[in-house]
Chains A and B, each alone.
Chain A
Amino acid sequence: MSTKRLSIFSTILVMMPILIFFFSPSAAIAAKVETLTFTIGIPGKTGCLVCHQDKALVKYELGKPRSLYVNPEDFSRTHAEVTCIDCHTDFTYKSIKPSREDWRVVAGTSCKNCHDEKKKIDHRKNYADYRESIHGRRLLVEKNMNAPTCAGCHNFHRIRRLSDPVEMMEFRKEAYQVCGRCHQDYWDNYNDWFHGKGYKHGAPDAPPCWDCHGAHNILNSKDSNSPTNISRLQDQCAKCHKDADRAFAEYGRYIHSRNDLIRENLVMKIIFTVLDFVKNSYQRVTGYFKIVPS
């Protein structure tokens, strides 16, 4: 083998793994996952916020940028004295980092670590309730990493101070963010005039989901321990409707079923039938003449 051929062969031999590495899709993703784009740290800030207060801080995941920006104002009122790693207890500089789900769950349930008797703060009780709830069981027993954590309802950084009446009132308006975005069907059919429709139009006297269903200890309504179980419903009603008895609690079944009542109404059945007939006739006519509606 001539020297020239040997040099070409050895060049190919060296270049091959490098080319394979750079042109393979997985390599491209792997390379991008750890790519961080940010400007210089904010002057006067220390710790994590040096970088995370930068709005331009993004991380590429599967080719898409994900913002890693943290607004310090979000926790300036609540948890102002709590440091980032108090919640992000699994923070590490090591090369093997926790998965995104783990990262979310650890931070999202870190409330359980916090109690301060002087300030009368003890999140352990709420966590104990959560652990027994349907959400907690999904996460802790079934290991469903997408199950709601504390932060799933209370938010990760912008957590409201619920001991403050104003903040509490604001939080009560967030039932869609807290419950509705996951339980879309129940959110949509929560539209009886007294409760749901009123709530959705800003009535302060209308109840958000957790007033009836409970908050940390939430259970499936079929569970006899659930506050919305038919056997216990009157207690829930009595919170607002003094002296409510079991017969009154029967109304509860209509809170999520006004749509059904409308559908079952004879007059509405006739109207829907006529509307369907008109719609079908229109479609037939347009189909026959091949009219394309603009």
Chain B
Amino acid sequence: MKLSQLIPIIYNWVDIVCLILLSVIPIGLLGHMTGNFLTGRIYKRFVLKKWPHHDKPFKPLPRRLAHLTHVICMVGLALTGMYIHFPFFDANRIIIKYFHYFFAFIVGVNYIFRLWWSFFSDYPDSDEFVLTWKEIKVIPAVIKYYAFMADDKPHLADFNPMQKITYLSFAAVMPIIGLTGISLIFGEWLLPPIARFFGDLPTTKLFLRLIHYLCNWFFILFTVVHAYLAISEDLPAFLYFFFNIEPAHHEEHGEHGEHVESTGSHTEYQESGGSLEHEH
């Protein structure tokens, strides 16, 4: 079967499976929230104010602004992108495409800024995302915690290993979706050298559009879960990131008045309302 014949069939499968997942995942999350109620986790968090512990609770404003910008633009990209693929109401698709490009441009700039910030700024945070073998080994324990098969999850860093995998995947998929998107816009100039591998230029674009579309679903489905967990598992961090409402934690100020990240020992955090987690 030729690629151009196969792609519509794959598209059809992706449409059906991902739309079903998009319907099923919120139902699953609702079930998970019910589990949180039944096991008393909601009470512990929202009433007793026992939220997860953070080794480095301070997140500089540019980092939070970059996250906020990223969220707004990704929502814009998802809505406009979904419209381009599933035109579900009457509108001018060309204008919607330009909105899509606009959001994509901001996300691209933001992504480059975020990479620079992670490695070269005064507050580099790339080490927060490093996944160690020790962390990989505790993944089953983390899954058990989220599946209500354990009361606590191992705490090795601010982000649990599954979070790290998700965030690193986001960072890895971002260039793929970005480059495929750019290739779709400027395909006539960029794609001819690789077009022969796929047959012709339109088939190449059709294939790249499929990759772009798959990445889009990856972001949408994972972001739904990410948003749910961010709010239900760590509301203070969510409020801090989006509304600059600082969580109750120890902060120290340097001699010039700038923020210095708290080393916040486990005991200190528990005193201020942190969660009781096992330190492995």
Question: Hey, which bits of chain A sit against chain B, CB under 8 A?
Answer: 192-193, 197-198, 200-206, 237, 241-245, 247-251, 253-254, 258, 261-262, 265, 267-268
Contact = CB atoms under 8 A, between A and B. Distances in A.
A241 B87 CA distance: 20
B38 interface: no
B16 interface: yes
B132 interface: no
B5 A198 contact: no
Nearest to B188: A242
Contacts of A265: 12-13, 16
Nearest to A197: B87
B88 A201 contact: yes
A247 B87 CA distance: 26
Contact of A201 (B90, B195, B200): B90
Contacts of B16: 262, 265, 267-268
Contact of A237 (B86, B89, B92, B202): B202
13 contacts: A192-B8, A193-B86, A201-B89, A202-B92, A203-B92, A205-B94, A242-B202, A243-B201, A245-B202, A247-B200, A262-B16, A265-B12, A268-B16
Interface string B88-121: 1111111000000000000000000000000000
B160 interface: no
A41 B91 CA distance: 44
Given A262-B12, A267-B17, A267-B20, A248 B199 contact: yes
A200 B88 CA distance: 10
B8 A201 contact: no
Q: Does more than half of chain A's interface fall in helix, strand or loop, or is it mixed?
A: helix
Contact of B93 (A192, A203, A242, A250): A203
B8 A251 contact: yes
A251 B5 contact: yes
Contacts of B11: 193
Nearest to B96: A203
B87 A203 contact: yes
B221 interface: no
B86 A250 contact: no
B85 interface: yes
B2 interface: yes
Given A201-B88, A205-B93, A265-B12, A250 B2 contact: yes
Contacts of A254: 8
Given A250-B5, A262-B16, A244 B200 contact: yes
Q: Does more than half of chain B's interface fall in helix, strand or loop, or is it mixed?
A: helix
B85 A193 contact: yes
A95 B6 CA distance: 65
A47 B94 CA distance: 47
B86 A245 contact: no
Interface residues on B, range: 20 to 34
B183 interface: no
Interface string B1-32: 01111011101110011001000000000000
Given A205-B93, A261-B12, A262-B12, 17 more contacts: A193-B11, A197-B87, A201-B89, A202-B91, A202-B92, A241-B201, A241-B205, A243-B195, A243-B201, A244-B201, A244-B202, A245-B200, A245-B202, A254-B8, A265-B13, A267-B17, A268-B16
A49 B92 CA distance: 39
B25 to A, nearest CB: 16
Interface string B61-91: 0000000000000000000000001111111
B23 to A, nearest CB: 11
Contacts of B2: 247, 250
A254 B200 CA distance: 19
B88 A243 contact: no
B215 interface: no
B206 interface: yes
Contact of B91 (A201, A249, A258, A262): A201
A261 B4 contact: no
A176 B20 CA distance: 32
Contact of A204 (B9, B12, B92, B203): B92
Contacts of B205: 241
Contacts of A201: 87-91, 93
A268 to B, nearest CB: 6
Contacts of A200: 87
A205 B95 CA distance: 11
Contacts of B89: 201
Nearest to B95: A204
Contacts of B88: 201
A261 B94 contact: no
A202 B7 CA distance: 25
Nearest to B199: A247
Contacts of B195: 243
A204 B201 CA distance: 23
Contacts of A243: 195, 200-202
Contacts of B20: 267
Nearest to A237: B202
Interface in B167-217: 188, 195, 199-203, 205-206
A267 B203 CA distance: 27
